[in-house]
Structure 1
C-alpha cells in the first residue's frame, strides 16, 4: 500500500527565493510583453495583405 500522506517540496532553483516576486521573474515578464508588443506593431506597420 502506498503512503500518500507525504508531501514533497516543490522543485525550485536554489538561487531563487521561495516568494512570489523576484527580479528574474519580473525581467522575464517584461521581456515577453515587450517582444509581443513589438511583434504586433510590426504586423500593423506591414500587414501581409498590403501587397494585394
Structure 2
C-alpha cells in the first residue's frame, strides 16, 4: 500500500509560472512598443541609443 498522498503542487507551480510569464509578456511588450514609437517621434536618428 502506498500511504503517501499525491499532491498537485508540481502542477500548481508550473501553472503559476506560466501565468506569471504570460502576465509579464502581456504587460512589458506593449510598453516597450509604445516607448519605441514615442522615441521614434521625438528623436528618429537615435531611437536605439535612447531606448
Give TM-score scaled by structure 1 length: 0.50
Mind listing any 5+ residue stretches in structure 1 that lack a counterpart?
A: 1-16
Instruction: Give the ranges of 4+ consecutive aligned residues of structure 1 lying more than 4 Å apart after TM superposition.
Output: none
Is there any run of 5+ residues in structure 2 with no aligned partner, and where?
Answer: 1-5, 42-51
RMSD across aligned positions (CA): 2.3
TM-score using structure 2 length: 0.51
Q: How many residues align?
A: 33
Q: Which protein, 1 or 2, shows the higher relative CO under an 8 Å CA cutoff with sep ≥ 6?
A: 2
